Amino acid sequence: MQAAAELDLAGALPTGRLVVEASAGTGKTYAVAAFVTRLVAEDDIPIRQILVTTFTRVAAQELRDRIRLRLLGALEFLRSGGGLGARDSVEAALSACDAAQRTLRSQRLANAVSEFDTATISTIHGFCQRVLRMAGSNAQLAELGGSGSELVAEVVNDMLVAASTQAQTWDSSRLERIVKAKLGNPTARLWQADAAAGNGAAALDLVQRCVDEVNRRMLSTLSYDALLQTAVRLVGDPEAAALRAAVQARFAVAVVDEAQDTDPLQWQLFDALFPVAGRGRLIVVGDPKQSIYAFRGADVNSYLHARASAERKTLSTNFRSDQALLDVLNCLMAAAQFGPQIEYQPVQAAPGQQHKRAGSGAAVAELLVLPADYDSDLLHHSVVQKVRAVLDSDLQPAGTVARAARPGDVAILVDNRYLGRQLENALLRAGIPAVSGGTDAVTNSTACTELRSLLQALVWPAAQGPARRVALGWFGSQQLADLAVQDDAALVLMQESLAVWAVVLQRHGVAALGVQLLAREQTLQRMLAAGHGERRLTDLAHLLELLHERTHGSGTQPQLALDVLNDLGRLEETHELISRRVESDADAVQILTVHAAKGLQFPVVLVPIEWKQPAKMKHDRPPIYRNQPDDLERRIDVSWLLGKGQDEAWERVAAERAAEQARLLYVAVTRAQHKLVLWLASDEHAAATALYQCFGIQHVSSGAAQLSAQLAERIRDLGSSLLIADVAPGALAAVAALPRAVQNAQPEALRLAAPPPPVAQHFRRWSFSRIVARSAAHFDGGPAGMDEFLHPVEQEEIALAALPSAPAGLLAAQPAGTQFGTLVHAILQRTDASAAALEDEIALHVPRVGLAVKGLAQRPALVAGLAAALRTPLGPALNEVRLCDLQPAARLPELWFDLTLAEGSGQLRASDIGRLLADQLPKADVLRPYADRLAAAEFDIALSGMLTGSIDALLQLPGAAGQLLVVDYKSNRLAVPGAADAAQAYLPQQLCRSMEDNHYMLQALLYLVAAYRFLRWRTARPDPTVQLAGFAYLFVRGMLGPDTPRDATNNPAGVFAWQAPPGLIGSLSQLLAGRLQL
């Protein structure tokens, strides 16, 4: 195959079809974002006319985030007039024009940013839904896609009943599987070598009739497979020229990401809508070496066939790995084949990663040879020892100084969940923190069992059995011993709780039910009691999220929620929806399947996989294969239904699986940034494994010495960069704390054992108010999750007489206390501050939430006062923006959060926050005095568990940067009611004292950490600090509108705003997570 030319992302933009082959780490997503940015800025293609598709929903969300960030970065660069300096060749190309053209390009990018929600960046199935809507189809997508298992079973049963008068009998389970295979591979051909012999023709006819009947019954509710088929049929209809023209007018350019995971039907769709001879542009980005999703219908031969009709270019600069590691892979895999026409492409490290080259320094790659007769314990022990060795060494990422390796630097890639669980347990027993993700289905978890039991009890709340099961589980309060008592009162209480939860689910939905369940401290204590607490919390949150999405975020019946959960349980365990998520962002070794690790990167990667083909292939599914390796058409051997004649088919299946194993190996070894460790088998079957084949190891060696001799010629230039060593049998030393010495032992006499000291419980559900209350030594056991103090009710709160009139628009005459504060918060959360008739908008919400507030004075004054607050400029630090300037889309109200705190008793203390502030804040910073108070003994409180709270609002400020401001509304009464100079009490200097006295500064810092982590998750930026504009605490009683008094520095009353210095919030987040030692 002729070598492809290198792609220049700053070169001429494609005008027809272009295939970009990007090896692992060379920046596929980066290239897609660059193409979109240049098409918008240079070719004046609106963002709404660019179609971007990818393989999974997760990948689609990542693409959306990356493209938006790229557009924002390019816009910021062009608006600076080049003053920021081009960060890469793409920005240099954008600025290579005159000033007028730069202004025009800036405007195009600004339009793209403002209209970004109109962009179509989705999975191929999401695009198919759009095509069906454009065609006027009212077909609905089945909730969970797939091939409709229940419908297939129903059709098969009907067909077999109709055929029951015939002499031939059929295996219904086999018939169901072969029908599903055809539905999942619609372009595959039903095939039998000798259809005329025996019942071959009858088998072919029966399968085809079942498939046709399933498709007929799914016309109104489509599976994912049927959705794609319907879209292809619609656009391929010769009489559908108007539909094709409409789609082509809607999308001037299509970009297909992860194209190696497409299938023939998808290419038929793109060929019809963006033909080679047409005017539309089609940019295809992929890597056939990473095609590892055949079990989901991906067909790498389809990609290879499409590649032949397009201009082909490649990316060969790796931005992930050190040059020394790439030298090793380029050497060992130089002749590797990953399927027909799929060869290894050597890559070179980016300039920043070339500080380490082969032959210098310690080994960056290791091949560890296992004995021929090793057992699994030896492999597990070897992995643990290697992790320990890594943790005892230093890492030196490019451009940084060497640092000690941390558990979070290490990833272990496995090929099955059993191995993943075994390794996780081995690491935990050795005292090494480890978490897993993608190694199992969440529907197999304890959380799923508990949630199913709860939903069953909600369906039948009067039934004693389901209620007792819930009472003994996470969401109950009984112990197993309580069953012997048969306490009817306790059972009634449980049933009453179930009745309340059922109403919450019916009225407000799954999310509201989840909030109620997790707000119960007893629930958290039960979930966390037996260890693996974060694992359980993650699984439960995952399931609740899936149920929330599939019940459309609204109230639902318990039976429907239970049906959805059961439907999830019927999905393939490898389905992305139910693949278990990593339970923690704590500093721990990550254990992932190779499939789950695709697209990720890790400093150190360990791959303890045997890569063996099974000695005897399971024949529990029909063989799907190609007659020749490079054929586009696949066959489904129908003789499997008859249980005969498939030997040749299974041989072809085995060859295709071997090629996919090679591609899995490629994905695994290319996840590493700095170090890679592989384990090799050395038994008689090892030579046939993907590792031996791809690394060009011709003969099985009995040990490291023989393997080194066999590879000597090839690896000579690698020097010390590659280590080949034996895995020696031997016991793993246990890691355990030394037993405490026994003092005053009296072996000759019996003594009465002293009771153990009380257990110090640090792991709990914390909030800002709980931390402050503990510091003042008056914690009264208030509910976790409260984010404000429950102050004693003041006399003004219960007085019925109206207080003296306040100055116009001032809220000083309103009662003090918690009730009024809750009222203000509720009104502001519901109010559209941008409404033209603002007073009318506020008044709409006062009757709904204000009836219960006693002593509420002058309701019109309340409306006028809140309207004045919303019209108050927030000061020069925030560009004088007012809350009424912000549209609802720029406001995220009531952002609840749960943050994991450092694990381990006494590892994190509240006073550490003060020490960090004192270390990083300038002496002149307004928060600096508070840092000393926070670092004092008053806050020497051990923290562990979860930190919970609720941010009143997250506001997106006007401007291209789109910075987010954390806002909290305060109704504190700082002035005497009726005082003429009441507003003076709300000037920033006085607010600073109130912020410190009430510890609002601590609250604000915790809110900033929550917003920081939220942005890090949503934007995929490792450090989103630049997107945070700080916090603003708005004391509404002092905000009087445009005429609000100001201090000598022009800052308005009622507004306390602060922005953290660079790096502080990231450091604080690391501190709370236990990753920063002071």
Residue 238 has pLDDT above 60, yes or no: yes
Residues 906 and 974 in one domain: yes
Q: Which residue has the tokens 């599976």?
A: 223
Spatial separation of the C-alpha atoms in residues 327 and 926, rounded to whole Å: 53
- The separation between the first and the last C-alpha atoms of the chain, rounded to the nearest angstrom, is 57
What is the per-residue pLDDT for 758? 43
Is pLDDT larger for residue 536 or for residue 479?
536
Q: In which region does residue 457 sit, left (phi positive, over 0), alpha (psi from -120 to 50) or beta (all else)?
A: alpha
* Residue written as token pair 């560009």: 879
Tokens coding 821: 């504060």
pLDDT tens sequence across 303-325: 888 888 888 999 999 999 999 99
665 domain residue, yes or no: yes
Instruction: Give the other-Cβ count within 10 Å of 60's Cβ.
Output: 20
Q: pLDDT band for position 728 (50/70/90)?
A: confident
CATH of the domain at 423: 3.40.50.300
Q: Where residue 547 sits, what CATH number does that domain have?
A: 1.10.486.10
Half-sphere exposure of 186 (CA within 13 A, CB side): 21
Of the chain, the percentage scoring pLDDT greater than 90 comes to 32
Q: Is residue 103's pLDDT more than 80?
A: yes
Look at residue 799 in the predicted model and tell me its pLDDT.
33
Q: Is residue 1019 part of a domain?
A: yes
Q: CA 220 from chain center: how many Å? A: 32
Give CA separation, 766 vs 448, 903, 914, 1001, in Å: 26, 13, 17, 17
Determine the longest span between alpha carbons in the chain, in angstroms. Answer: 104
Our separate counts of H helices and E strands in the chain read 37, 30
Quick one: CA dihedral 328, 331, 334, 339, positive or negative?
negative
Number of domains comprising the chain: 5
pLDDT, tens only, 639-692: 888 877 677 888 888 888 889 999 999 999 999 999 999 999 888 788 888 898
Distance CA(577)–CA(338), nearest Å, equals 28
Give me the amino acid identity at 711.
Answer: L
pLDDT tens-digit series, residues 53-100: 998 887 888 899 899 999 998 998 888 876 667 888 999 999 999 889
Give the residue numbers marked as catalytic: 968
Question: Is residue 1077 predicted with pLDDT exceeding 90?
Answer: no
Would 794 be classed as within a structural domain? no
456 found inside a domain = yes
Amino acid making up residue 101: Q
Structure tokens at 189: 């051909």
- pLDDT tens digit sequence for 244-255: 899 999 999 999
823 within some domain: no
The letter for the amino acid at 797 is E
3-state secondary structure 117-150: HHCEEEEHHHHHHHHHHHCCCCCEECCCCCCCHH
Q: State the pLDDT at residue 804.
A: 36
Q: Which of 29-38, 99-108, 722-731, 837-846 has the lowest mean pLDDT?
A: 722-731
Helices 488-508, 558-569: axis angle to 10 degrees equals 80
| Domain-located, residue 858 | no
Examine residue 10 and state whether it is found in any structural domain, yes or no: yes
Residues 913 and 1010 grouped into a single domain:
yes
Give the Å distances, CA to CA, from 851 to 848, 854, 856, 857, 859.
7, 8, 9, 12, 11
Alpha-carbon distances, residue 446 vs 474, 532, 957 (angstroms): 10, 11, 43
Query: What's the domain range around 699?
Result: 348-439+587-614+622-628+654-726
Rounded CA separation 966/1008 (Å): 7
Q: Which of 354-368, 416-430, 766-780 has the lowest mean pLDDT?
A: 766-780
Q: Which residues contact 632 (CB under 8 A, 6 or more apart)?
A: 264, 301, 302, 305
Which of 162, 184, 217 is the last residue in one of the domains? Answer: 217
Do 369 and 420 lie in one domain? The reply is yes
pLDDT digits (tens, 9 = 90+) for 132-172: 888 887 666 555 444 467 788 888 888 888 877 666 678 88
Mean pLDDT of the chain: 82
Domain boundary (217, 251, 272) is at 217
pLDDT given at position 874: 96
Distance CA 528, CA 945 (A): 9
pLDDT band at 772 (very low <50, low <70, confident <90, very high): low
Q: What is the pLDDT of residues 964-993, one digit of tens each?
A: 999 999 998 887 655 556 678 899 999 998
Better pLDDT: 769 or 294: 294
Percentage of residues of the chain with pLDDT beyond 70: 83
Could you please report the per-residue DSSP string of 672-701?
A: EEEEEEEEE--STTGGGSHHHHHTT--S--
pLDDT value of position 83: 62
Q: Are 8 and 332 in contact (CB under 8 A)?
A: no
Is 164 buried (19+), middle (13-18) or exposed (0-12) by CB count in 10 A? Answer: exposed
Clarify whether residues 361 and 494 are in a common domain. no
CA-based radius of gyration for the chain:
32
For strand 434-437 and strand 589-593, is the pairing parallel, antiparallel, or unpaired?
A: parallel
C-alpha closest to that of 802 among 815, 818, 820: 815
Q: Collapse the DSSP code of 990 into the 3-class scheme (helix H, G, I; strand E, B; otherwise coil) and give the result.
A: helix
Query: Mean of the pLDDT values across residues 499-524?
Result: 86
DSSP β-bridge partners for residue 607: 678
Query: What is the Cα–Cα distance from 441 to 546, expressed in whole angstroms?
Result: 13
DSSP-derived letter for residue 601 is -
Give the CATH number, domain containing residue 891. 3.90.320.10
Specify whether 512 is located in the same domain as 608: no
Stretch among 232-241, 366-375, 753-762 having the lowest mean pLDDT: 753-762
Same domain assignment for residues 457 and 396: no
Look at residue 402 in the predicted model and tell me its pLDDT.
79
In a 13 Å sphere around the CA of 631, the CA atoms on its Cβ side amount to 14
What pLDDT is attached to residue 400?
66
Angstrom CA distances, 927 to 937, 1058, 1072, stand at 18, 9, 19
Choosing from 217, 244, 274, the residue where a domain stops is: 217
My answer on whether 428 and 450 are in the same domain is no
277's CB contacts (< 8 A; 6+ apart) are none
Does residue 440 contact residue 421 with C-beta atoms inside 8 Å?
yes
pLDDT in tens, 5-16: 899 999 999 888
Which pLDDT score is estimated for 745?
A: 36
Q: Using CA of residue 897, residue 900, residue 902, residue 903, what is the dihedral sign?
A: positive
Do 286 and 382 share a structural domain? no
pLDDT above 80 for 775: no
**What angle, 0 to 180 degrees and rounded to 10, lies between the N-to-C axes of helices 200-217 and 149-162?**
130
Same domain assignment for residues 243 and 375? no
- Please report the pLDDT score of residue 353 as a whole number: 67
Quote the pLDDT of residue 56: 81
Which of 542-546, 555-559, 853-857, 897-901 bottoms out in mean pLDDT, i.e. has the lowest?
853-857
- Do 62 and 126 share a structural domain? yes
Closest by Cα among 377, 375, 392, 388 to 430: 388
The pLDDT of 433-449, averaged and rounded, is: 82
How far apart, in whole angstroms, are the C-alpha atoms of residue 481 and residue 324? 62
Q: Hey, how many other C-beta atoms are within 10 angstroms of the C-beta on 238?
A: 5
Distance CA 28, CA 30 (A): 5
CA distances, 72 to each of 79, 449, 771, 1062 (Å): 11, 45, 39, 20
Amino acid 146: pLDDT: 45
- 1032: Cβ contacts below 8 Å, ≥ 6 apart: 874, 878, 965, 966, 967, 968, 1055, 1056, 1057
Distance, in Å, from the CA atom of 32 to the CA atom of 66, rounded to the nearest integer, reads 9
732: CB partners within 8 A, 6+ apart: 381, 384, 385, 430
Mean pLDDT value across residues 818-847: 88
Whether residues 107 and 41 share a domain: the answer is yes
Residue 302 confidence (pLDDT): 86
Record the tokens describing residue 291, joined without a space: 């095609």
On whether both 992 and 1056 belong to a single domain, the answer is: yes
Phi-psi region of 806 (alpha: psi -120 to 50; beta: other; left: phi over 0): beta
Directed axis angle between helix 464-472 and helix 446-459, to 10°?
140
819 falls within a domain = no
Q: Look up tokens 């450092």; give the residue.
A: 902
